[in-house]
Homo-oligomer: A and B are copies of this chain.
Amino acid sequence: MHEIDQVRGFNRAVTRRIGLLRDKFLGRGRPFGEARLVYEIGSAGIEIRELRRRLDLDSGYVSRLLRSLEGQGLVDTLPASGDARVRCARLTSRGLAEYEELNRRSDSAALSILAPLGASQRERLVAAMAEVENLLLASDVVIKPEPAGSAAAQWCLRQYFELLGRRFEAGYDPGQAAPAGADDFTPPRGIFLLARALGNPVGCGALKRSVPDIGEIKRLWVASSLRGLGVGQKILDLLEAEARKSGLKLLRLDTNKALREAEALYRKNGYREVPPFNDDPYPDHWFEKRLD
């Protein structure tokens, strides 16, 4: 199939060009593994367990790498406040200098791709790279139930509320809206789904059982860079499947006219507009869909 060939060609071209650049620019003097660590520790420092999680590395290996970086005077570790088992890695001033240097090299690597191109080609390349990046992310999306109180879930909800605040003419105040706490989205009363791409949260959606047999879709949000790539559709599909599984007969939701993409998504999925079923201050449209 022609699509597959293009993807394979892309993989080869990119691993050669980008891979070579990586070795050329970042590999100088310092092993790549160490550079990765310095980069990930960053100027703010980081808990070692978080470091392990992000880079998906063996705990012994990370430990050894940190010892090596300590030996070079780039890093020091200190116990985290609160839990004395946890340790934090921090860059020393020399480490910080190395971090800046890595950033400069990353910039140079990027520039070495852009520099030979003319202005219009640069623009095309940058646009196409953004498109590929977002679609690769979209193709990696995994949607799973998540405790509504978890840090990742809370982060998504903050993004969602901020979006509402920006979009709504009069802003958005969670206090004024119909209250819905983590309990409402916790089984068996409801469920909270989180979408992750490359491990990072990029979207969410929740189902809340309001009246027996009736469920309500809430908190459907997708990171702006991934909008229009089918992530919202997937979350909605899974929420509906969940609703069917728990025997709900009807799904309801409300939305504001400023959220055009959401409204289009609901209409496309067979939600019909109905008279208001609540008196929340924010929604302009109310929808429902009968499940069979």
Q: Chain A interface (Cβ within 8 Å of chain B)?
A: 3-11, 13-19, 21-22, 106-107, 109-111, 113-118, 121-122, 124-126, 128-133, 135-141, 198, 229-230, 233
A124 lies within 8 A of B133 (CB): no
Which residue of B is nearest A107, CB measured?
B4
- Note all chain B residues with C-beta closer than 8 A to A121: 135, 138-139, 229-230
For A138, the chain B residues whose CB sits under 8 A away are 116-117, 121
This chain: copies in complex: 2
Contact between chains at B198 and A133 (CB < 8 Å)? no
Q: List 13 A-B contacts (CB under 8 A).
A: A3-B126, A6-B126, A6-B129, A7-B125, A10-B129, A10-B130, A11-B21, A11-B106, A14-B132, A114-B139, A118-B230, A121-B139, A129-B132
17 further interface pairs, Cβ-Cβ under 8 Å (given A8-B109, A15-B22, A125-B131): A4-B107, A4-B114, A6-B126, A10-B132, A11-B18, A11-B22, A11-B109, A14-B136, A15-B18, A17-B140, A113-B139, A115-B139, A116-B139, A117-B135, A117-B139, A118-B233, A132-B132
Bound-state CA distance A30–B5 (Å) is 23
Least CB separation from A142: chain B residue:
B116
Tell me which of B4, B13, B126, B140 contacts A133 (CB under 8 A): B13
Do residues A133 and B7 form an inter-chain contact, with CB atoms below 8 A?
Answer: no
Give Cα distance in the complex from A70 to B209, angstroms: 65
**Bound CA span A198–B133, Å:** 22
Q: Contact check: which of B22, B198, B229 meets A17 at CB < 8 Å?
A: B198
Contact of A14 among B133, B139, B229 (CB under 8 A): B133
Q: Which residues of B contact A114 (CB under 8 A)?
A: 3-4, 7, 139
CA distance A229 to B111 in the complex (A): 17
Nearest Cβ in chain B — how far from A64, in angstroms?
A: 21
A129 contacts which chain B residues (CB < 8 A)? 6-7, 9-10, 132
CB-CB under 8 A from A21, the residues of chain B are 11
Point out the residues of chain B lying under 8 angstroms from A111, CB to CB. 4
Which chain B residues border A4 with CB–CB below 8 Å?
Answer: 107, 110-111, 114
Pair A135/B128 contact, Cβ less than 8 Å: yes
